[in-house]
Structure 1
């Protein structure tokens, strides 16, 4: 004997019911088929009763719509010659329903007993319609009234089963029948006085398990709209996988903690009889699904079987010095909650006995506050305990797996993954079986948390970064090209998916939703038609999306953008900054940013602030981390100035060479930042700070070579004045050439002091053979004393700068 249960989605309409009956027809073993109400019917029956209780006559419209739904379903399923008796049955049931709801309407009272009576019609109607369809298809079977077979107490709404009587009635009824197939409504039962009871929402699964246990079935099959139990909710986690095999205990844990595929009480009856239970997909019947069996037979290879969650959780905290060493406080707390039928989902207590914390359904929070404060009224008045603390807006996220107990470090990996993504844990609990680790987090973080944990424990295929880029102009555009070019390489070789989820320029901003990413081939066209750029709204959206492994990339030179870093870091969103403004801001702000990044498990990376794509800051950090000490730094840090002085020989105007550098993308938007030395001052200051020095811009000496008049007016005025000062620039060149030297703009840091300025570089200097837009940095350290550590290469240009930003993004992805 096999028991098959079909849920509401499987019997939602005539088309689906036809699929169900085909599955039943293909099953050759003797069988009991248990069905739920048609999809959505139970909720509408509850709605009708509630409206009637309120005196709202629109309950009649609800009942009329339900009657039409059932009549239409019967007509769609049955040949005309078989319709009469079935349609008459439907009308008779709705006449009875109308009388019950009419009574509720007049007395304005909907008791739990009456509510059970009303909602029982859902399963009665669906099972009788399906039975009529099976008969019309010549499938021999007997319809069983579950109310006569399953006996319960009178706890209406969630009745407890009397298994002794129920097992005897079911087994004798089936044995006395000559049929090989049976059809029964799920969810409904009756008490000792034959009053209709229900087994709780989702109780049709439970009905099927009760039948399976009573008949010692060879298997129980739960048919639903998904292919088995999943490692996580597939609506939240795109890469959720089907769990092929799991144990009864794991299935109970997963179902208790929010996995909706199977109703939690279902497991107990089949576990006691060791009956394999399958979760299968009505709409993909050939797929294997999930089998639930005893732990000995379950040999899944994964340490973690699944990740589940419960939303709408409230934390209750009872605290007070008067609790320490006094027995009975926990008993009184749980007793007060139990008397009000408030279910406790999670418990944690401090070892000092100073506090105890429990999680309950959020709907029970107000009631819990009243009953607990009443139970401890004396202690409250004596100040031995504090008033019950109620914290709403939480959820529970749980890791489930039988194998966790034999693998140390699971809890650390779980909490570490959540912490790195800025998900605060309010309470934790782990049973002595070590089969479940639960954490209470903000409900706003639950989707992100499930994805973070699924990535950490299941997605060995790839890690996902969610990237938001502000500034997709020259450098940012090159970055988008490089991300597109390397997309497949990163997946294949680094197991990394870099998803660009939001982009912006100075005019527009573009986001994508629902797990999508911006098309890196057509982003320019999409951005043209996007919403206007508002920096605060962009930042709000990044934060509100609350995606795992989020990275904010600033490819601007904008002070307003730099000003939002701290806010993002506080949300554990990492920063990659091509923008030098933040790192060269007052030391207190620079230090605060780095401190915030550490505090909130985010990263603040700005390698391209010095040397574009050259590994200058990374090399400096490696020296310090390995215990070396920087004594002196000498550098040519401006690709722009190096380009200018490598190309200026007096044969063409200095202003023309500068304009060429700007046109080729080597300069800042305002070239005076380069030629005036401000950009180089920022860079040497950043290096000095990374070397451990507390230094400000005012501490740096700048030996200007530009005449003061060049700094007046606009950029156009700047070019005109350079042209007027051509004799000055020619004299600078000729003076150096007369000494067989080259002009280089050099930055130095030594003994806590920094300076920048134009220097005559002789042929034996490391700086002499520095061509094009190259940069060079010389690190003199305790280990590199006579011969410095040299970093040299292209220090300007959109491609190399974009590659440096790209490299920083990849460093954030590194474990």
Structure 2
């Protein structure tokens, strides 16, 4: 014999009930007991109606009318007209009785637990009767049996305790003498030995099915719900969650206790001793294998079987020197909570006995605090014990698995994963069996925590990076294109799943929590909301994704000033914007400090040399113990392009204009030609070498006329270049006459830095530097006579985008 249970969503409406009929029709004449819940949402309506009635609020009649409409319309849609009369008559009679009960609560202005159980039981009683009559009308061999005639309990209304001896006798006798193939029973409801209607508490329909399965020694208990089994994590929060095919009773109890909603924890108890397997199946995908719960069914020795969580938790802590070595403190503490009927979800105690900390439901925490403070009033008044400390708005996350005890390092792996994502752990609990490792965290971090842990333990080391890109012009658009082209390679070869969640330019911004399509990002952005830098940050903060990276492709000082906000919220920053790292030294130092403090990388490789690994190489030299003695460099791709292109047959104005049009210069070309850009770059290299320098400390020998430097628009700047063409030609001729080339050189030595135009003779490393290439010479303790040279393309949207891309990969490999 099999026992099947169908939950509220499975019988929410006529369409779903037809799916149930199809499942039952495929049972091959096997004898089955079918336990059904109330129609989806009806129990809530009953609770609402009873509460309103007890408050003498006539709006309870609206809830009652909705309940009546749900059931009458379901009958009319499911059952043929010729068979409706008797069913409608029965249901209307039951609804009249329900109305009388609600009116009683209204008249006395009170809802006793006994009355509440009578009212709430109508959900299952009505649904089970209607479904049984529908199945009969469809030609199935069906009988209806009221569970109150089989399951006997005490009078603990709201969560009655089952008398298994009497219940088992009644169930065995009924099913032994019942000849119908299918028996429909209401879940959740029972009756006391004195004949009062009782209920079995939250998840009671699961429990009803398990009680019957245990009583008749069923071959299997099938729980039919709206998901295809138990998952490695909540699929609503972790999109990569997978169905667990096989799991042990103990693992299932741990997962269900910690929030796996497909199974109510007490359900397992009646079948556990008799080793009756439980199958979790999907009413809406009946062919899916689902999850099988059975003895020693622990997935071929896998360690972590699932990651679960329970929300709305508060921590209550009792601590003080008066607890140390004093017998009975714990007894008094737990007795106090027990007397107040407060359930404890988690317990942790310091080995010094200085404190006891428990996790309890938010709804109970104020009552608990009041009770414990009252119990220890004397100790608190004498300052031997402090008043209880409360922490609210918390969640427990838990790793579950039978085989965790035989694997070292799982706790470390769990806490390391949470730590890397800046998820602060408030309390930890782990049983001696190591079947469950639990951590208490802020509720705002639960999605990040679950996804991070799932990535670590279930996703074959594929790490998801969530990008938020500000600036999608020349560099930004190239960067997005590179991400799109390399997405598959990153996932297959580097185990990185990179997705762009948010993008913004100066006018619009757009977000997609599932990742923006990089084939259509331009139209998506065009249809986005108005750009707002603060709102962009707040949205990233509220999403609170793991491995979040803010990518700044702008040249905006305002954007660079927001970096501390991102870093403080564990959001990494990757930028080609040089302003932050060349701002005053204290600001630069603070950014580096925040990156370490909040474990949020701050990378800016493209600040110097675009896509060249200049800063990365410098960091490795310093980390390995080498010391930088001197840096010589051509660091401006735009200036190198200008002076490589400029000669006596072309005007300086035209060359600079060409450089701007090809994207070699900043939008404001004076930033490049004034030397400010190069000053910023050598300043960054000096700082990364370990020196404290500010931009004012750098000597600048400008080659532009003062009038050109003081212009306030690009038009005026280019006009001034025409005016001084003769001076530029003279610079070129002076160098050519000496068989030299003009190069704009940056140098750092003995703690001092300078930039300026120099005549470079033949044979020098800088002489043959072509196009917009950059070159850096590092003279160190190890590279004394022959410097370490880095040379290559130092400007252009493509190479800058590739440098940003490389920084993203670096973060992925952290």
Shorter-chain TM-score bucket reads over 0.9
Q: Distance in 1 between matches of 2:708 and 2:280?
A: 78
Q: Distance in 2 between matches of 1:583 and 1:78?
A: 74
- Is contact 1:3-1:217 (8 Å) kept? yes
Q: Distance in 2 between matches of 1:800 and 1:204?
A: 63
- Is contact 1:464-1:499 (8 Å) kept? yes
Q: Distance in 1 between matches of 2:182 and 2:679?
A: 86
- TM-fit CA distance, 1:701: 1.5
- TM-fit CA distance, 1:301: 5.1
- TM-fit CA distance, 1:256: 0.5
Which whole-Å deviations, capped at 9, do the CAs of 1:149-168 have from their partners, x for residues lacking one?
11122221111212222212
SS in 2 for 1:732: helix
Q: Distance in 1 between matches of 2:527 and 2:24?
A: 53
User: CA 1:793–1:749 in 2, change beyond 3 Å: closer, same or farther?
Assistant: same
SS in 1 for 2:704: coil
1:802 is aligned to 2:801:
yes
Give 1:238's aligned residue.
239
Give 1:780's aligned residue.
779
Give 2:589's aligned residue.
591
- TM-fit CA distance, 1:9: 0.9
User: CA 1:696–1:461 in 2, change beyond 3 Å: closer, same or farther?
Assistant: closer
Which whole-Å deviations, capped at 9, do the CAs of 1:731-781 have from their partners, x for residues lacking one?
222221121111111111122221111111111100001010000011112
- Which of 693, 696, 704 is the aligned partner of 1:695? 693
Q: Distance in 1 between matches of 2:526 and 2:20?
A: 50
Which whole-Å deviations, capped at 9, do the CAs of 1:204-245 have from their partners, x for residues lacking one?
001111111111111110011111111111111212111100
- Is contact 2:313-2:360 (8 Å) kept? yes
Q: Distance in 2 between matches of 1:504 and 1:407?
A: 46
- Is contact 2:187-2:209 (8 Å) kept? yes
1:197 is aligned to 2:195:
no
- Which of 608, 616, 635 is the aligned partner of 2:606? 608
Give 1:734's aligned residue.
733
Q: Distance in 2 between matches of 1:110 and 1:707?
A: 90
Q: Distance in 1 between matches of 2:623 and 2:177?
A: 81
- Is contact 1:420-1:572 (8 Å) kept? no
More divergent stretch after superposition (208-217 vs 325-334): 325-334
More divergent stretch after superposition (608-617 vs 642-651): 642-651
- TM-fit CA distance, 1:346: 0.9
Which whole-Å deviations, capped at 9, do the CAs of 1:285-340 have from their partners, x for residues lacking one?
11111000112x43345321111111111111112121122122222221111111
Give 2:64's aligned residue.
63
Give 2:716's aligned residue.
717
Map residues 558-597 of structure 1 onto 2, 5 A cutoff.
558-597=556-595
Following superposition, which runs of at least 4 residues in structure 1 exceed 6 angstroms of deviation? none
Q: Distance in 2 between matches of 1:798 and 1:42?
A: 61
SS in 2 for 1:439: strand
Which whole-Å deviations, capped at 9, do the CAs of 1:261-284 have from their partners, x for residues lacking one?
011100111111111100001111
- TM-fit CA distance, 1:80: 2.2
- Is contact 1:245-1:300 (8 Å) kept? no
1:501 is aligned to 2:520:
no
Which whole-Å deviations, capped at 9, do the CAs of 1:78-127 have from their partners, x for residues lacking one?
22232222111101111110111111000000011111110111111111
- TM-fit CA distance, 1:571: 0.7
Give 1:544's aligned residue.
542
Q: Distance in 1 between matches of 2:4 and 2:721?
A: 88
Give 1:771's aligned residue.
770
Give 2:553's aligned residue.
555
Which whole-Å deviations, capped at 9, do the CAs of 1:328-377 have from their partners, x for residues lacking one?
22222211111111111111112222221111111112211211111111
Q: Distance in 2 between matches of 1:15 and 1:643?
A: 71
1:455 is aligned to 2:449:
no
Q: Distance in 2 between matches of 1:694 and 1:734?
A: 39
Give 2:221's aligned residue.
220
Give 1:410's aligned residue.
410
Which whole-Å deviations, capped at 9, do the CAs of 1:595-638 have from their partners, x for residues lacking one?
11111111000000000001101111112222222221111101
Q: Distance in 1 between matches of 2:83 and 2:191?
A: 31
1:485 is aligned to 2:485:
yes
More divergent stretch after superposition (173-182 vs 74-83): 173-182
Q: Distance in 1 between matches of 2:292 and 2:763?
A: 77
SS in 2 for 1:138: coil
- Is contact 1:421-1:573 (8 Å) kept? no
Which TM-score applies when normalising by structure 1? 0.98
Which TM-score applies when normalising by structure 2? 0.98
Q: Distance in 2 between matches of 1:133 and 1:509?
A: 53
Consecutive unaligned residues of structure 2, counting only runs of 5 or more, are: none
- TM-fit CA distance, 1:178: 3.5
Which whole-Å deviations, capped at 9, do the CAs of 1:767-809 have from their partners, x for residues lacking one?
0010100000111122222211111001001111111111111
- Is contact 2:455-2:461 (8 Å) kept? no
Q: Distance in 2 between matches of 1:643 and 1:62?
A: 78
Q: Distance in 2 between matches of 1:519 and 1:138?
A: 51
- Is contact 1:479-1:802 (8 Å) kept? yes
Give 2:637's aligned residue.
639
Q: Distance in 2 between matches of 1:673 and 1:140?
A: 87
Give 1:317's aligned residue.
317
1:116 is aligned to 2:117:
yes
- TM-fit CA distance, 1:180: 4.0
1:266 is aligned to 2:264:
no
- TM-fit CA distance, 1:727: 2.2
Give 2:17's aligned residue.
17
Give 1:48's aligned residue.
49
1:432 is aligned to 2:429:
no
SS in 2 for 1:426: strand
Aligned-residue CA RMSD (Å): 1.4
Give 1:360's aligned residue.
360
Alignment: residue pair count:
812
- TM-fit CA distance, 1:708: 2.0
Give 1:666's aligned residue.
664
Which whole-Å deviations, capped at 9, do the CAs of 1:429-486 have from their partners, x for residues lacking one?
1111111111111111112211111112112273221111111111111112212222
Map residues 525-540 of structure 1 onto 2, 5 A cutoff.
525-540=523-538
Q: Distance in 1 between matches of 2:227 and 2:523?
A: 38
Give 1:466's aligned residue.
466
SS in 2 for 1:72: helix
- Is contact 2:298-2:402 (8 Å) kept? no
1:128 is aligned to 2:115:
no
- TM-fit CA distance, 1:644: 0.9
Give 1:76's aligned residue.
77
Q: Distance in 1 between matches of 2:282 and 2:411?
A: 33
Give 2:171's aligned residue.
170
